[in-house]
């Protein structure tokens, strides 16, 4: 699924957001005509993500959603939002093709008043939404991260799954695997609480390699209430690779994905469709950096040698030539 960025502005300044510089550098909102061109370009995927910045800030958000949802080539439209402006776009978000993914930030990061608005908006969307799907997500970004506000929302509204993403740090010098080892206790505590609530964890990106976990920790992970075997394999590190997602921007440029936004851009007008562009990024980024080991031990690892593991996000290897 390709993502279309409606704008590069956000109403929040989350401390973990590595896109801060990118947002500051490009303050342009997408036009309707450009959105239609990007939607046409990405239509072969059959679904599309709507991202930002914060996409609900766009003045034509409702019209854009109508265009996407009435396109017969598109079966699903996923909106990635921080939830603060949901109450202003209820009708657009209750369309049958729409999946709303709400990223939950704690009151410490967004302020008590914003969290109260988020809480209210989740309830409003759930009560006014006869179709589609609503999901919560969390970005795990610091050791001993307080997840109590997230757990509160899960319990209050009865969510049975959670999108989990390990934030890519602004300073990538530590490297992928050492960073995962550092963040592991926080993740395991999150998973423990999800198990108690019978909530299924679903992975986003930056998958953790199998070697990060001890045998005891792997046995614990096996007990989590996964929605399916695919998610189980990801959390156990058996599927720690990815393919280019493609993020499309208002200036008609594209990047492999948000994590690798600083590793190279392309002009979509030079490609026939999203599949050709995805192949281009695979050749220019994936094929170039995948052979760069995350640490010395990777060089003798069977999974690494057979392209079964990247050792963390490719963005950690951005300097590879």
pLDDT digit string, tens, across residues 190-246? 999 999 999 999 988 888 889 999 999 999 999 999 999 989 988 888 877 788 999
DSSP string, 19-68: THHHHHH---PPPHHHHHHHHHHHGGGSEEEEESS-GGGSTTHHHHHHHH
For the ranges 128-132, 229-233, 296-300, 307-311, the lowest mean pLDDT is seen at 128-132
pLDDT tens per residue across span 116-127: 999 999 999 999
Check residue 130 and give its pLDDT. 62
Helix intervals (H) in the chain:
20-25, 32-42, 61-69, 90-93, 107-110, 112-127, 148-157, 176-196, 215-222, 229-235, 274-281, 287-289, 302-305
Round to whole Å and give the CA distance between 148 and 106: 8
CB 42 within 8 A of CB 48: yes
Mean pLDDT of 271-279: 95
Dihedral sign from CA coordinates of 118, 124, 126, 131: negative
47-98 pLDDT tens trace: 999 999 999 999 999 999 999 999 999 999 999 999 999 999 999 999 999 9
Per-residue pLDDT for 186 more than 70? yes
Are 185 and 143 in contact by the 8 Å Cβ rule? The answer is: yes
pLDDT at res. 141: 93
Ramachandran angles phi, psi of 54, nearest 5°: -105, 105
Which strand ranges, in their side-by-side order, compose the sheet holding 47-51? 200-203, 161-166, 133-140, 98-103, 76-81, 47-51, 2-5, 247-248, 253-255, 265-267
Q: Would residue 152 be called left, alpha or beta, if left means φ above 0 and alpha means ψ between -120 and 50 degrees? A: alpha
Residues 6+ apart with CB under 8 A from 193: 147, 151
Give yes or no for residue 321 having a pLDDT over 80. no
pLDDT bin (cut points 50, 70, 90) of residue 16 is: confident
Cα separation, 311 vs 208, whole angstroms: 7
Q: Which residues contact 85 (CB under 8 A, 6 or more apart)?
A: 11, 54, 56, 57, 121
Mean pLDDT of 110-134: 89
Is 129 a residue whose pLDDT tops 80?
A: no
**Quick check: helix, strand or coil at residue 140?**
strand
Question: What is the three-class DSSP state of 75?
Answer: coil
Domains for the chain: give ranges and CATH numbers.
2-317 (3.20.20.70)
Q: How confident is the model at residue 320, as a pLDDT? A: 41
DSSP 148-191: HHHHHHHHHHT--EEEEEEPPPS--TT-HHHHHHHHHHHHHHHH
Length of the chain: 321
Burial class, 171, CB count within 10 angstroms (exposed 0-12 / middle 13-18 / buried 19+): exposed
CB 253 within 8 A of CB 280: no
* pLDDT at 319 > cutoff 70: no
């Amino acid at each position: 699924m390709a993502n279309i960025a409606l704008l590069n502005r956000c109403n929040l300044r989350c401390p973990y957001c590595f896109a801060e510089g990118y947002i500051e550098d490009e303050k342009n909102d997408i036009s309707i005509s450009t959105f239609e061109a990007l939607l046409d370009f990405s239509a072969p995927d059959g679904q599309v993500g709507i991202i930002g910045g914060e996409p609900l800030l766009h003045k034509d958000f409702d019209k854009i959603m109508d265009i996407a949802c009435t396109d017969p080539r598109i079966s699903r439209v996923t909106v990635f939002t921080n939830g603060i402006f949901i109450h202003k776009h209820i009708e657009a978000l209750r369309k049958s093709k729409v999946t709303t993914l709400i990223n939950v930030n704690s009151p410490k990061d967004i302020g008590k008043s914003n969290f109260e608005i988020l809480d209210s908006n989740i309830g409003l969307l759930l009560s006014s939404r006869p179709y589609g799907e609503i999901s919560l997500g969390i970005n795990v970004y610091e050791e001993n991260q307080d997840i109590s506000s997230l757990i509160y929302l899960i319990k209050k509204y009865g969510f049975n799954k959670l999108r989990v993403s390990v934030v890519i740090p602004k300073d990538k010098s530590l490297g992928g695997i050492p960073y995962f080892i550092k963040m592991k206790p926080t993740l395991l505590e999150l998973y423990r609480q999800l198990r108690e609530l019978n909530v299924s964890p679903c992975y986003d990106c930056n998958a953790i390699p199998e070697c990060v976990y001890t045998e005891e920790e792997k046995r614990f992970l096996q007990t989590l209430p996964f929605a399916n075997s695919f998610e189980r394999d990801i959390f156990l590190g058996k599927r720690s690779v990815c393919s280019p997602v493609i993020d499309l921007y208002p200036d008609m440029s594209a990047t492999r994905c948000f994590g690798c936004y600083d590793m190279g851009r392309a002009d979509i007008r030079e490609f026939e469709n999203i599949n050709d562009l995805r192949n281009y990024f695979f050749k220019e980024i994936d094929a170039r950096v995948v052979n760069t080991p995350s640490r010395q031990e990777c060089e003798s690892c069977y999974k690494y040698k057979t392209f079964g593991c990247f050792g963390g996000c490719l963005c950690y290897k951005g300097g590879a030539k």
